[in-house]
Structure 1
Amino acid sequence: MRRTNASPTQQEAAILKAAAEEVALVGVGRMSMEVVARQAGVSRSTLYRRFPSREALITELGRQTFEFAMARLQTVAIDDGPAEAAVAAFREGVRLLTGEPVMRRFLQLDGDFTATSGMFDEARIFLVSASTAMAKALRSAGATMPDDALLAVAEMHIRLAASLVQVGSPVLDVTDDEAVAAYARTHLAPLVR
Structure 2
Amino acid sequence: MRRLRNNDSRTEQEAAILKAAAEEVSLVGVGRASMDVIARQAGVSRSTLYRRFPSRDALITELGRQTFDFAMARLQTVGIESGAKEAAVAAFCEGLRLLTSEPVMRRFLRLDGDLSAMAGMYDEAEEFLQSASAGMARALRAAGATMPDADLLAVCELHIRLATSMAQVRTSVLDVRDDDAVRAYAQTHLAPLVW
- Name the residue aligned to 1:147: 149
- Name the residue aligned to 1:9: 11
- Name the residue aligned to 1:125: 127
- Name the residue aligned to 1:69: 71
Gaps of 5+ in 1: none
Alpha-carbon distance between aligned partners in 2 of 1:39 and 1:109, rounded to the nearest angstrom: 22
Q: Note if 1:23 corresponds to 2:25.
A: yes
Alpha-carbon distance between aligned partners in 2 of 1:9 and 1:121, rounded to the nearest angstrom: 27
More helix as a share of residues: 2
Alpha-carbon distance between aligned partners in 2 of 1:189 and 1:116, rounded to the nearest angstrom: 32
Pick aligned residue for 1:60 from 52, 59, 62: 62
| Per-residue deviation, 1:108 | 2.1
> Comparing 88-97 with 101-110, which one deviates more in the overlay?
101-110
Pick aligned residue for 1:46 from 45, 48, 68: 48
| Per-residue deviation, 1:70 | 1.3
Alpha-carbon distance between aligned partners in 2 of 1:54 and 1:7, rounded to the nearest angstrom: 21
Gaps of 5+ in 2: none
Q: Note if 1:177 corresponds to 2:183.
A: no
Pick aligned residue for 1:92 from 91, 94, 97: 94
Contact 2:155–2:194 (CA<8 Å) still a contact in 1? yes
Alpha-carbon distance between aligned partners in 2 of 1:145 and 1:73, rounded to the nearest angstrom: 21
Cα deviation digits, residues 59-101 of structure 1 (max 9, x gap)? 1111111111111122211001011001000001101100111
Identity %: 75
Contact 1:110–1:166 (CA<8 Å) still a contact in 2? no
Instruction: Note closer, same or farther for the CA distance 1:116–1:192 as it changes in structure 2 (3 Å cut).
Output: closer
Runs (4+) of structure 1 exceeding 3 A deviation are: 109-114
Aligned length: 193
Alpha-carbon distance between aligned partners in 2 of 1:168 and 1:109, rounded to the nearest angstrom: 17
